[in-house]
A and B are shown apart, each in its own frame.
Chain A
């Protein structure tokens, strides 16, 4: 009986070994594929000259700045909509009209208003992050045990205290789940904007490698982007489990 962990590793290892052997056997000359050994060498080279670190920094700055702005707006709106049902009902049409606009469609608007660089990317990432946070925090606030609200009334808490002491702590596990989803979206949108048009960060670097006909470097960047995405998600899952215990992961199925 082979342990599960080994089984999981078997396929990637076999794929890498197979590609390496095949590339050597036919002496691969291609614009789109490279043997894994060359990809590893290109990745090491990019780390040595620091270019990949600068690109990673640029992408992460844009993604996190956008994530924070979008989360703040989404959270404020989500909590307000969750508390005041009148407000929620009045804003319904407006929100449902703006939400389906694909974030990437804002790219040309951001481009003429802000030009290339961090700001336009942050704007688009922020727009994309508002919605999951808004929707999930609204649901989280709406789903708070009504007795807690009654308690806050009985204690005559001020509205600010009610939000700070009762609502946010009670809804926090689900809000953090929303934040984790939004962080994934932020990275995706940041890379997409860079690939499409913005000449900074990992997305621009991978496009440059493609245009320079360096498949080894291009695939090295692809691998690295995958690793960054994986680490971001894994880190947030660990944080979620650490902060809220196993109970917080129950909502994951939703």
Chain B
């Protein structure tokens, strides 16, 4: 069984390599102008050159920093607000409908407002990323708190637990799968908004790098940047799903 999984994985890698080779052939035969489509060889060379000179490394750190700060602020604020709203029936019926109304709002529409308030600064980027990334976590936390098994609350009442104790000992652990999946969604939102803010405000990061490369028609650098953004997206999702599995292990262990 395990061996056949490995074989399939290997075959799948060969198929992917075939696509890269196909891309190389198209580029080498110049079926598409190299101004638009560099071959994988040139993109790879540009990636290595960028890292050797430290340029790309710096941009990568910039994007990761924007993403991480915004996501971190959103996580704390989202879970705290969600716990506050979710743990009280009164807050739920007064506040939750307004939040549901705001949910389908394309969050990037807040960018002009943020620019008007903060100018083209790091603070603007932080605000936008945090604002965009907060929704999945906020709504997931409220939902998770509302869906706690009612008997657990009864137990808490008969034990005379304080509201803080109820939140930390019962509601948060019980809502943790919802909260973690909200955090995973937010991570994607944070990456996208980081790139948009860098493009708009010229902040140091991969978004700015790909835009400058496009303006100068340096397609190899452009593709190197896009590939790197894909790698960030892949790795952050991977780390998050590993963390999710570890943190939720206690739930499946049976008790």
Give A residues with C-beta under 8 Å from B.
Answer: 4, 7-12, 31-32, 89-94, 96-98, 100-109, 111-113, 184, 187-188, 191-192, 195-197, 202-203, 206-207, 209-210, 213, 215, 218-219, 221-222, 225-226, 229-230, 232-233
With an 8 A cutoff between CB atoms, is B213 at the interface? yes
With an 8 A cutoff between CB atoms, is B57 at the interface? no
From the candidates B108, B191, B232, name the one contacting A192 in the complex (CB within 8 A). Answer: B108
Contact indicator B106/A188 (Cβ below 8 Å): yes
Which residues of chain B have C-beta atoms less than 8 A from A100's C-beta? 230-234, 237
Contact indicator A105/B113 (Cβ below 8 Å): no
From the candidates A11, A89, A94, name the one contacting B16 in the complex (CB within 8 A). Answer: A94
Contact indicator B226/A106 (Cβ below 8 Å): yes
Contact indicator B109/A203 (Cβ below 8 Å): yes
Contact indicator A112/B219 (Cβ below 8 Å): yes
User: What is the CA–CA distance of A106 and B214 in the complex, to the nearest angstrom?
Assistant: 11
Stretch at the interface among B4-12, B69-77, B168-176: B4-12
Nearest-Cβ distance from residue A205 to partner chain B, whole angstroms = 10
Q: Mark B221-255, 1 if CB is under 8 A from A, else 0.
A: 01101100111111001000000000000000000
Contact indicator A207/B112 (Cβ below 8 Å): yes
Contact indicator A225/B112 (Cβ below 8 Å): no
Chain B stretch 188-230: residues in CB contact (< 8 A) with chain A: 188, 191-192, 195-196, 199-200, 206-207, 210-211, 213-214, 217, 219, 222-223, 225-226, 229-230
Contact indicator A103/B192 (Cβ below 8 Å): yes
Q: Mark B85-100, 1 if CB is under 8 A from A, else 0.
A: 0000000011101100
Contact indicator B111/A90 (Cβ below 8 Å): no
With an 8 A cutoff between CB atoms, is B52 at the interface? no
With an 8 A cutoff between CB atoms, is B80 at the interface? no
Instruction: Count A/B pairs, Cβ under 8 Å.
Output: 160
Cross-chain pairs A/B with CB under 8 angstroms, 30 sampled: A7-B97, A8-B97, A89-B11, A90-B11, A90-B15, A92-B8, A92-B9, A93-B13, A93-B16, A94-B12, A96-B234, A100-B231, A101-B229, A102-B188, A104-B192, A105-B210, A105-B226, A107-B199, A108-B226, A109-B214, A112-B35, A195-B108, A195-B196, A197-B199, A210-B113, A210-B115, A218-B116, A222-B109, A225-B106, A226-B105
A89-B12, A108-B210 are contacts. A4–B93 as well, Cβ < 8 Å? yes
With an 8 A cutoff between CB atoms, is B156 at the interface? no
User: What is the CA–CA distance of A192 and B12 in the complex, to the nearest angstrom?
Assistant: 34
Q: Interface size for chain B: under 10, 10 to 19, 20 to 34, or 35 or more residues?
A: 35 or more
Give 4 new A-B contacts, CB below 8 A, not counting A10-B94, A107-B199, A218-B116: A92-B9, A94-B19, A195-B196, A229-B106
Nearest-Cβ distance from residue A24 to partner chain B, whole angstroms = 20
User: What is the CA–CA distance of A192 and B192 in the complex, to the nearest angstrom?
Assistant: 10
B116, B117, B226 pick with most chain A CB within 10 angstroms: B116
Nearest-Cβ distance from residue B81 to partner chain A, whole angstroms = 14
From the candidates A97, A104, A107, A108, name the one contacting B230 in the complex (CB within 8 A). Answer: A97
User: What is the CA–CA distance of A7 and B214 in the complex, to the nearest angstrom?
Assistant: 51
Main secondary structure of the interface of B (DSSP, over half): helix
Contact indicator B112/A232 (Cβ below 8 Å): no
A100-B230, A219-B113 are contacts. A191–B195 as well, Cβ < 8 Å? no
Nearest-Cβ distance from residue B213 to partner chain A, whole angstroms = 7
Nearest-Cβ distance from residue A197 to partner chain B, whole angstroms = 7
Which residues of chain B have C-beta atoms less than 8 A from A11's C-beta? 94-95, 98
Nearest-Cβ distance from residue B13 to partner chain A, whole angstroms = 5
Contact indicator A191/B93 (Cβ below 8 Å): no
Which residues of chain B have C-beta atoms less than 8 A from A102's C-beta? 188, 191-192, 195, 229-230, 233
From the candidates A7, A113, A187, name the one contacting B106 in the complex (CB within 8 A). Answer: A187
From the candidates A4, A8, A196, A229, name the one contacting B196 in the complex (CB within 8 A). Answer: A196
B8, B104, B206, B210 pick with most chain A CB within 10 angstroms: B104
With an 8 A cutoff between CB atoms, is B102 at the interface? yes
User: What is the CA–CA distance of A104 and B229 in the complex, to the nearest angstrom?
Assistant: 10
Q: Which 10 A-B residue pairings sit nearest by Cβ, starting from the closest?
A: A100-B233, A108-B214, A8-B97, A32-B116, A210-B112, A101-B230, A192-B108, A229-B104, A100-B234, A188-B106
Nearest-Cβ distance from residue A98 to partner chain B, whole angstroms = 7
Q: Which residue of A is nearest B230, CB measured?
A: A101
Nearest-Cβ distance from residue A80 to partner chain B, whole angstroms = 14
Nearest-Cβ distance from residue A3 to partner chain B, whole angstroms = 10
Nearest-Cβ distance from residue A253 to partner chain B, whole angstroms = 10
Q: Which residue of A is nearest B195, CB measured?
A: A104
With an 8 A cutoff between CB atoms, is B26 at the interface? no
Nearest-Cβ distance from residue B89 to partner chain A, whole angstroms = 11
Contact indicator A93/B192 (Cβ below 8 Å): no
Contact indicator A191/B106 (Cβ below 8 Å): yes
